[in-house]
Amino acid sequence: MWEKGTLSIPVGDSQTLLRYAVKRYDNPSEYGINGGRVSKLEIWTDDECESRVRYERGWDIYPASDDEAANAALSMLLERLN
């Protein structure tokens, strides 16, 4: 099942808008993130010009450690969907 949406992530005194698309299954899989249900995930900036996170049965783009918004979005999505 695919889910798409937008997240507003607080960073400092402002909000960062990030879009996401997630493909997940009913059951956990060896191909899912951390052995979970999410097998594909992409998080990008609102203007769709820059992917910040991409996972397709493995990490293509892991969020940078200093990218607070991308890390927060990834954590929120995995907590809810994985």
21-70 pLDDT, tens digit per residue, is 999 999 999 999 999 999 999 999 877 678 899 999 899 999 999 999 99
Domain with 69 in it: 2-81
CA distance 63 to 74: 8
Number of domains in the chain: 1
Q: How far is CA 52 from CA 26, 30, 39, in A?
A: 26, 23, 17
Residue 6, SS3 per DSSP? strand
- pTM for the full model? 0.89
